[in-house]
Amino acid sequence: MLIRSEFDIQFQLPAPITMLAMLDLHPSVDALAREVTPLVVEHVDGGQMSRLVTEKYQDSYGNRCSRVHLPAGAVRLSGSNVVEIDGMPDLMKIDAQQAEVRDLPAAVLPFLLASRYCEVDRMCGLASDLFGSVPKGWLLAVTIRDWVHDHVSFDYNSARPTKTALDLFTERVGVCRDFQHLAITLTRAMNIPARYVAGYLGDIRSPYAGAGDFSAWYEVFLDGRWWTMDARHNHPRIGRVLMATGRDATDVAITTTFGVANLTHFYVESNEIDGDGNLILPQGHPEASIAA
């Protein structure tokens, strides 16, 4: 199956600023990529676009990062890619085992610890109250995921940059990243390593659910490998395209700006395409009939 993902994000800047961005595909996806236009940053000056130099580097998690110095005025970030995936829904393994902390690979140990949005240290008691009697392993991981899904409502207007897992636990309303932060925190509190993921997740072979956006999900470490989990969409989905992983949204921010950047345009889409590059739009997509 072919998936085409693309974005076009624009900002108006009152003054020059530096921006960090994680808008390229994760190196682990390279083998699947059929076409890639990495992040392009342009300055729009009187109708003319001039391309800005972006510095590329990898962070300690192996994510592809960009740093770019932006002049005042209008700027545009864009990119696109086509990946070929097997088209299978998220894998499940209901007998996946939870290793003891003594037996985990050292590299995954940091994903048991607290981080900015994941106050593991403050939620251990609670996690134990809620999940202490659930059998360890896969069942524990999905029980936590589903608990979050069932106890939190989604509302775009409830987003705020400082909202932590504990905040969400008390407020019970949040956006994608908040759902995952709460699930990650409770999962770590039960001694299963969990990490945050940013990527594309279109409504592929699913009903159209509204204008596109980047998505967040998370991964849990069981049976010696990472498995995809998603507390917002807690049933197996097709077509996740990985961009970055880290401890939480601090590590994996689509953009981090040092100064004021006012968002003026935001377009993200991720859709199936056929072999000729024609879009296969989800049922209910406003342009679906045109495409048909």
Smallest gap from residue 203 Cβ to a second copy (A):
26
Query: Contact region for a second copy (CB under 8 A) — 30-38, 101-109, 219-227, 265-273?
Result: 101-109
Instruction: Pick the binder of a second copy from 28, 37, 97, 256 (CB under 8 A).
Output: 256
Distance CA(46)–CA(39), nearest Å, equals: 22
Q: Nearer Cβ to a second copy, position 119 or 269?
A: 119
How distant, in Å, are the alpha carbons of 45, 196, 203, 252 from that of 214?
27, 13, 12, 12
Residue 65 or 238 with smaller CB distance to a second copy = 65
Segment 188-247, which members bind a second copy (CB under 8 A)?
Answer: 191
Residues 138-167 that bind a second copy (CB under 8 A): 151, 157-158, 160-162, 166
Number of residues that bind a second copy (CB under 8 A): 45
Question: Which one, 85 or 166, has the nearer CB to a second copy?
Answer: 166
121 binds a second copy (CB under 8 A): yes
Which of 63/81 has CB closer to a second copy?
Answer: 63
Selected from 86, 88, 95, 100, the binder of a second copy by CB under 8 A is 100
Options 35, 55, 274, 287; binder of a second copy; rule CB under 8 A = 55
| Residues of the shown chain interacting with a second copy in the complex, contacts defined by CB under 8 A | 18, 20, 55, 57, 59-60, 65, 67, 69, 100-102, 106, 109-110, 112-116, 118-119, 121-123, 125-126, 129-130, 151, 157-158, 160-162, 166, 169-172, 191, 250-251, 256, 258
